[in-house]
Structure 1
């Protein structure tokens, strides 16, 4: 299964933030959008310059204190961003996210940001697949061959 299937179900909405935005404004955006990370892009989402997450904020607060809230997203963002394409296989992506300890992956096709997927999206999709398999097996065992 390709990551494009996950994107079809969850949608391709990506919230981006400019690198010069304050961390305090970033917190507001995370809260308003009920998300855990923002793609950093100074050109409105065409290119990915970094990713800024709740984890980045917590780390910066711990290291530098509350004055970090007035600093820019550029000062706390992760610049080395792992990305994927919509043609990548879901299982390989799950392994990659686990190995690299990343929770969010921007989806980039032909050099352009097209979506973002989280580890939660990947897990939800896999759970949905397992539920469908369970239902199919249940109906098979019960003798309802119309499901197969």
Structure 2
């Protein structure tokens, strides 16, 4: 029992040592008039599959309107500018989780991805956060590149 505890403690400390180095926040480019912006972000650090706590870190693929945008790695933040209206967000790993959002001109939507440990908390894997919550949760976090569908196309 003590050996198992020591192993878990050592493994946990090893992951702490691998934490990303904080980067200076960058300003997002201005939003083109008439478009909406959708921020996607992942807050949970998971070890294992999309529902497990052991194994490799899951990086589910996020799709917007049926097109792959980026891998949702732990701590990632990325965004796409979109035409106003309804958009389908799908996250694919062992199974697909979907959410429909409605974009409004000159405003932002925030799609929160909780992956890996959510089975323990009962939360959804994909949910829309309010502007206040989403804005706070992505504040100061570096952005990763995304391959966005062309707005209006």
Question: When the two structures are superposed, what TM-score results if normalisation uses the length of structure 1?
Answer: 0.23
Higher helix share: 1
Structure number with larger C-alpha Rg? 1
